[in-house]
Amino acid sequence: MLVIIDYGVGNLGSIANMLKKIGAPATISADPELVARADKLILPGVGAFDNGMRNLHERRLVDVLNQRVLRDGVPILGLCIGLQLFAQRSEEGQLPGLGWLDAEVMRFKFTEQPAPLKIPHMGWNIVTPCQPHPLVTDWPPDSRFYFVHSYHLVCHQASDVLAQAHYGYPLPAMVAHGNILGAQFHPEKSHQFGMRLFRNFVERV
């Protein structure tokens, strides 16, 4: 059973719509017991880092997520803020993250002044894999995805970076650390490219 974790910060309707379109049954739930029984998880998210962590704690989801992801090795796909919560900490907030990745979250910083690009990074961008992985199977070179973010991951282990995008400088667009997977962009809003990613997650991971 694939569970989309409903912790009050995501555009869950869009993810459910796309999974339905590709024929992948999924359950939207905030119930820790259901999360404990899931064999695949999606942690969506929009909004602020601390708000995301606070909501996970309030819904008593942190312990069960740690167990399922760290102990049982259940594949989890974090999207946007969902991915950022996997990090140790974020410049955006005070609360510690889930700490599953040796990574932190930083705001976009451009050295040139005036800044050459607007923040947030909002729009479509090409995502290029840096290594082979089931999640990026059958990946056309022009694969583009919809991004909206002002903060991005900085991975301290280069091998965790699965794919990159370029906005002023290269940034991790996707990460893979064992069963811990994530995308900074919104596959649920990215046409056939997002469908491919979800299909790979459902069928190949």
Partner 1 sequence: MFRPRVIPCLLLKNKGLVKTRQFKDPIYLGDPINVVKIFNDKEVDELVFLDILATVEKRRPPFELLSKIASECFMPLGYGGGIRDLADIQTLLGLGIEKVIINSFAFEQPTFVQAAATQFGSQSIVVAIDVRRDFLGRYQVYTNGGRVAASKSPIQWAQEMEKCGAGELLLTAIERDGMMNGYDLNLIKQVASAVGVPVVACGGAGSVSHLAQAVREGGASAAAAGSLFVFQGPHRAVLITYPSAADLHQAFA
Q: Which of 104, 166, 186, 191 is catalytic?
A: 186
CB of 31 to partner 1, least distance (A): 18
Q: What is the 3-state secondary structure (H, E, C) of 116-154?
A: CCCCCEEEEEECEECCCCHHHCCCCCCCEEEEEECEEEE
CB of 66 to partner 1, least distance (A): 26
Please give the residue ranges that form the binding site for partner 1 (CB under 8 A): 11-14, 17-18, 20-21, 46-48, 117-126, 142, 144, 146, 148, 165-167, 186, 188-192, 194-195
Q: Is 80 a catalytic residue?
A: yes
Helix (H, G, I), strand (E, B) or coil at 87: coil
Q: Nearer to partner 1 by C-beta: 9 or 180?
A: 9
Q: Is 58 a catalytic residue?
A: no
Q: Nearer to partner 1 by C-beta: 84 or 179?
A: 84
Distance CA 84, CA 150 (A): 12
Tell me the one-letter amino acid at 189: K
Closest-CA residue to 57 (of 11, 95, 88, 2): 95
Closest-CA residue to 42 (of 155, 14, 163, 104): 14
Q: Is 130 a catalytic residue?
A: no
Q: Which of 33, 80, 91, 177 is catalytic?
A: 80
Q: Nearer to partner 1 by C-beta: 149 or 177?
A: 149
Q: Nearer to partner 1 by C-beta: 47 or 132?
A: 47
CB of 50 to partner 1, least distance (A): 12
For 19, other C-beta atoms within 10 Å of its C-beta total 22
Active site residues: 80, 186, 188
